[in-house]
């Protein structure tokens, strides 16, 4: 069974299937990469909670940066957020994002019970 949460015309905020919660891509406003990353991670926490999951259950996170020069700033905020011993499989690359002021986008898969 597939469960969709907060479904709109274009996408759902969360899709749950077979023990995995797939979160919609997360972007946020902010002056710096750290501001945007922290805002995205706050949003991810809220979506994980709504999905019946948590950061300890992260499976895979794909991170798109508008500029790889922001990689160190991303990791500063990321390393504070991800629980010790619970780091997911992670990929990070550079991509043109939906709006020029976006510096980062997160795509998250997490287990739920």
Tokens linked to 37: 């990353």
The answer to whether the CB of 74 falls within 8 A of the CB of 65 is yes
Express each pLDDT in 84-107 by its tens digit.
999 999 999 999 999 999 999 999
CATH fit for domain 2-111, picks 3.30.1330.40, 3.40.50.1980, 3.40.50.300, 3.40.50.720: 3.30.1330.40
pLDDT tens for 12-71 read 999 999 999 999 999 999 999 999 999 999 999 999 999 999 999 999 999 999 999 999
C-alpha distances out from residue 51 to 26, 48, 59, 60, Å: 15, 5, 14, 15
The per-residue DSSP string of 76-102 comes to: HHHHHHSPTT-PPEEEEEE---SSTT-
Residue 113, SS3?
coil
67 φ/ψ sector (left φ>0, alpha ψ -120 to 50, else beta): beta
Of 97, 100, 111, 112, which is closest to residue 26 (Cα–Cα)? 97
């Amino acid at each position: 069974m597939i469960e969709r949460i907060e479904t709109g015309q274009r996408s759902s905020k969360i899709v749950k299937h077979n023990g995995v919660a797939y979160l919609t891509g997360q972007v946020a406003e902010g002056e710096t990469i750290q501001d945007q990353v922290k805002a995205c991670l706050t949003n991810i926490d809220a979506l994980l909670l709504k999905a019946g999951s948590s950061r300890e259950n992260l499976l895979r996170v794909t991170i798109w940066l508008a500029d790889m020069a922001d990689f160190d700033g991303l990791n500063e905020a990321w390393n504070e957020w991800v629980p010790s011993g619970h780091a997911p499989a992670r990929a990070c690359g550079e991509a043109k994002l939906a709006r020029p002021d976006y510096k980062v986008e997160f795509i998250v898969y997490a287990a739920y019970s």
